[in-house]
Structure 1
Amino acid sequence: MPPSAVKTVEDLIFWQYAKIISKSAGMGKKNYGFIMDRFKKLQSGEIEWSTSMRKITKISLFWDNDFQSY
């Protein structure tokens, strides 16, 4: 379960991506401090991600906004 800092779909994507970064860095998926650090850097734009991840974010934000209109 994500922490209370995760409030939007975009935040959730950042959180999951931060866990992927943590695992890739050899820190594991349960190193909360490292994951939170990467999460905050992703939120602030200090860390950028690949073009494919940006496209996924745009698509997910589109769907999230579309469903909220019903």
Structure 2
Amino acid sequence: MVFKEWEFAEFKDSSSYNTFLLKPYKYKMIKSDQFYLHIRNKILKASNFKYLNSNINEIDEKIE
């Protein structure tokens, strides 16, 4: 599911540029569509979860 990973980080601004090693960590990027599909499939297989789909018919914005 990891789309890309980096072992270095960079900080840039108008007057400086710095890079540094992240070890022992890595920055990992995942794409949201892949992540949500993966999680949704896991949730739908869970026995203690019920997926509901419904329409909203009215919204009442009264403040009491």
TM-score (normalizing by structure 1): 0.26
The TM-score normalised by the length of structure 2 is 0.28
Bigger fraction of residues in helix: 1
Q: Which has the larger radius of gyration?
A: 2
Structure with greater strand share of residues: 2
